[in-house]
Chain A
Amino acid sequence: MNGLVLRTMAMLLAAALGAIATGLLLADHWGWALFCTTLIALLAYHLRHLALLNRWVSGASTDPIPESSGVWDEVFAGLYRRHRLEVRQRRRFARLLARSQQAGRALPYGVTILGPDMQIVWCNDSAEAHFSISRESDIGQPITNLVRQPEFAGYIKSANYAEPLEIATARPDELILSIQMVPYVDSHHLLLSRDVTQAYKLGIMRRDFVANVSHELRTPLTVLIGFLETVRDLKLDASRSRDYLNLMAEQGHRMQSIIEDLLTLSTLESALQPPGDERIDMAALLAQVRNEAESLSAGRHSLSVEVEPGVDLTGNTGEITSAFSNLANNAVRYTPPGGSIRIQWRAAGDGAEYCVTDSGIGIAAEHLPRLTERFYRVDRSRSRETGGTGLGLAIAKHALARHQATLAIESEAGKGSCFTVRFPRSRVLAVQPRSVALN
C-alpha cells in the first residue's frame, strides 16, 4: 500500500515538474495543459483497472484474474495469490468431503442421516437397498413416509433409541433389518440399519432343529414306554407279547437310525479333510443303489437305471453312495405304487450328472428352498409312515457339497420330481477310451 501511494506521489511529482519545466520553456498554459493531460491519463488508467477489478469481483469465482500493468499489477498479483490458495483449499475440502462420503457409502451398514423433522438428508448405498429409497429423489422426504411399518413409526415416535428394533422390510424379497437411531449434531439423527436376515433365519432353524430332534426321538420313545408298561403290568400270552416286543424293537431301530443319521451329519460337518481322491467305481456303486431301491420298492414301481460306462468319480465312496441312495430311496418312498422311477448317470457338459426322476407326489414350490433342512417335512404324517428319518436330504446335500457337487431340484406338486446332482470336471475321471470297450 505504501509503495502504491509513494509511486503515485512520485508520478504526480514528475508530472508537476515536467509541467513547470514546460511552463518555463514555452508558456504557462502549455504547462497546465500537460499537467491536466497527465492527470486525466492517470485517472483513466486507474478507472480502467477499477472496472476490471469490479468485473472480476462480480463475475464467476472461476474467472481468471485480469491482466494488469503498473501499480495495479501488485494488487492483482496479491489477489491472484489469495485466490489460488482458496481454490486449492476448496479442492482439498471437496476431496475430504468426497472421501468421507465414500467411506460412508462403502459401509456394509445402512447409514441414513435424518434432519430435525426426520426427513432424509443423506443415505448410503446399503440404506438405499434396505429401505428402497433413493439418494437422488428422496432427499427431504420424511423417512416415515417411505418406511411405513407401524413398528418403525412407533420407534421413531417413542424417542427411546436405547434398544435396536427389528423390522421386516415391505419388499417382495423380505429382509429382516436391525435398526437403531443415534442422535447426531444439531438435532439430526443417524439411522443405522443392518441386514440380519441370515442370523434371523439361522435362529429359527436352530430353534426348529432342537424342537424337531426332541420330537423325532420322543415319538418312538413314547411308543416304546407304552408297550413296556403294557408288558410289565398285564399278563400277556406268548404271541401277543412277541408282537409287542417286535413293535418295540422296530421303534428302537427307528431311534437308532435317527441317531446314526445325526452322527453322520455331524461327522460330515466337522470333517475338515476333504474327501480323498480314491477312484469310485460308478457301475458297482449304482448297482448297489439299484439293489437298495429295489428292495425298498419291493416290486411296486418300475425302476430303470441308465449308466453311461466309463464315467467315474474321485472322492469318498461311502459318502457318494449314501447321497445317491438317499435320493433314489426318497424317489421310491414318495412315488405311489405303479409309478416309475428313472435313475441316470452320464457325462454332461464339462462334468457328470446323476438324475433321479420320478412320477411321484411332487413337491410344491414353496417347500423347495427348505427341503434340505434337517427334519423339514412337507407333510408330517406322511413322511414318518414311509419310514424316513427326515435327515436324508440334509446328509446328501452335505456329502455332495464336500465333493463340490450341486443339487438341483425341479418339482411340481402331483406331477413328480427330478433331483439332479452335477459334479464339476475336477471330480470326474477322464473318460476311458471307447475303442478299448469295443475291442
Chain B
Amino acid sequence: MANDHLSKQFDNELEALRSQVLQMGGLVESQVRGAIQAFSNGNLSLADQIVATEVRVNAFEVQIDTDCSHIIVRRQPAATDLRLIMAVTKVVTDLERIGDEAHKVARMARQIHEHGVVDVQHFANIRHTGDAAVNMLRQALDAFARLDVEDAGRIITEDRVIDFEFKSVIRQLITYMMEDPRTISTSLDIIWIAKAIERIGDHSKNICEQVIYIVMGTDIRHTKLEMGADGKMFPKA
C-alpha cells in the first residue's frame, strides 16, 4: 500500500496478507480452470487433482483468517488498513466457496463422464459460460491486486452476462430432458455444474465489491450501480 506506516513491520504484514490472499486466489483459479477442463474433455485424473487441492484451499482460509485476527489485536488498525483486513476476511470466504464450487463441478464431471449417456460436446455453451466465469475471477483478483476501482466496477456489470448464459443453458437442458427422458439424471448433474459456474460469477462479483470498499470506503453490496457521465460506475442513492 502506498501510505507508509511508522512501523515498517506493519506494512510488511499487510503486504504479506495481501499476497497470501492472492496466492490462495491463484490456487482457486487453477482449480476452477481445471474443473471446467475436466468437464469438457473428460480428463478424470484432473478431476481427482481438483478434489485433492480442496484441502490446501481450506488450509489457506484458516491461516489467513488467523493472520487477520492477529493483526487486528496487535496493531489495532484504522481507516484503509482496517477496511483492507475486513475485506480480506470476506474475500477469503468467497474464494473458499469458489473452491467448493469448482470441487462440485469436478465431482459432477466425473459422474457425467462415467455414465456417458449424454455427449458433452453438445454443451459447448456450458464451457463458454465456464470460461467467462474463469475470466471474471481472474480479473476480479487482478483488480484486488491493483486495487483498481474502475476495473472492479466494470467486472461487477459483467456478472449479468453469466447469469444470462446460465438461463440459456437451463432452457437448452429442459428441451433435452423433454426429448429424451433417459438423459434426465445426467441433465440434472449438468444443471448443478451450470449453477456452480453461475455462483462462481457471483462470488467474483463480491470480491470486486470488496475492492471498492477498500479503496473508497463505500459499501456497495445490495445496491444498484449506475453509470456516471464519465463512464465510471457508482452506487445509486
Q: Which residues of A contact B (CB under 8 A)?
A: 132, 137-138, 141-142, 144-146, 148-150, 152-153, 170-172, 364-366, 413
Contacts and interface: CB of A to CB of B under 8 A. Distances in A.
Contacts of A152: 26
Contacts of B141: 148
B15 A172 contact: no
Contact of B19 (A142, A364, A366): A142
Given A142-B15, A144-B19, A364-B124, A172 B30 contact: no
20 contacts: A132-B142, A137-B146, A144-B22, A145-B18, A145-B19, A146-B142, A146-B146, A148-B25, A148-B26, A149-B26, A150-B26, A150-B27, A152-B26, A170-B29, A170-B138, A171-B138, A172-B131, A172-B135, A366-B124, A413-B121
Instruction: Please indicate which of the listed interface residues B15, B23, B26 has the most CB atoms of chain A within 10 Å of its own CB.
Output: B26
Nearest to A140: B2
Contacts of B142: 132, 146
Contact of A148 (B22, B124, B131): B22
A144 B135 CA distance: 18
B174 interface: no
Contacts of A142: 15, 19
Nearest to A168: B33
Nearest to A153: B23
B161 interface: no
B74 to A, nearest CB: 22
Nearest to B146: A137
Given A148-B22, A148-B141, A366-B124, A141 B146 contact: yes
Chain B interface mostly helix, strand, loop or mixed? Answer: helix
Contacts of B131: 172
A132 to B, nearest CB: 8
Contacts of B117: none
B171 to A, nearest CB: 17
A430 B142 CA distance: 57
Nearest to B53: A150
A146 B145 contact: yes
Interface string B1-34: 0000000000000010011001101110110010
A153 B22 CA distance: 11
A138 B142 CA distance: 11
A141 B145 contact: yes
A142 B135 CA distance: 21
B23 A144 contact: yes
- Chain B interface size, as a band, is 20 to 34
Contact of A145 (B22, B27, B138): B22
Contacts of A171: 138
A381 B208 CA distance: 47
B121 A364 contact: yes
A138 B22 CA distance: 15
A150 to B, nearest CB: 5
A149 B146 CA distance: 17
Contacts of A144: 19, 22-23, 26
A141 B121 CA distance: 41
Contacts of B148: 137
A148 B29 contact: yes
B33 A170 contact: yes
Interface in B116-167: 121, 124, 131, 134-135, 138, 141-142, 145-146, 148
Given A150-B30, A172-B135, A138 B23 contact: no
A172 to B, nearest CB: 6
Interface in B173-191: none
Contacts of A141: 145-146
Given A138-B146, A148-B26, A149-B29, 20 more contacts: A137-B148, A141-B146, A144-B19, A144-B22, A144-B23, A144-B26, A145-B19, A146-B146, A148-B22, A148-B29, A149-B26, A150-B23, A152-B26, A153-B23, A170-B29, A170-B134, A170-B138, A171-B138, A172-B131, A172-B135
A366 B121 CA distance: 9
B211 to A, nearest CB: 13
Contacts of B25: 148
Instruction: Please indicate which of the listed interface residues A138, A152, A170, A171 has the most CB atoms of chain B within 10 Å of its own CB.
Output: A170
A145 B30 contact: no
A215 B198 CA distance: 41
A407 B151 CA distance: 40
Contacts of B138: 170-171
Nearest to A152: B26
Nearest to B40: A366
Nearest to B12: A117
Nearest to A117: B15
Nearest to B148: A137
B153 to A, nearest CB: 16
Nearest to A137: B146
A145 B142 CA distance: 8
Contacts of B29: 148-149, 170
B124 A365 contact: yes
Contacts of A366: 124
Contacts of A138: 146
Instruction: Please indicate which of the listed interface residues B25, B30, B148 has the most CB atoms of chain A within 10 Å of its own CB.
Output: B30
Contacts of A146: 142, 145-146
Contacts of B30: 149-150
Contacts of A150: 23, 26-27, 30
Contacts of B146: 137-138, 141, 146
A98 to B, nearest CB: 27
A414 to B, nearest CB: 10
Nearest to B30: A150
Give the 10 A-B residue pairs with the shortest CB-CB distance, closest first.
Answer: A148-B26, A145-B145, A145-B22, A170-B138, A150-B27, A146-B145, A150-B30, A150-B26, A172-B135, A153-B23
Interface in B33-71: 33
Nearest to B145: A145
A404 B40 CA distance: 36
A364 B134 CA distance: 22
Contact of B26 (A132, A137, A153, A413): A153
Interface string B186-222: 0000000000000000000000000000000000000
Nearest to B144: A145
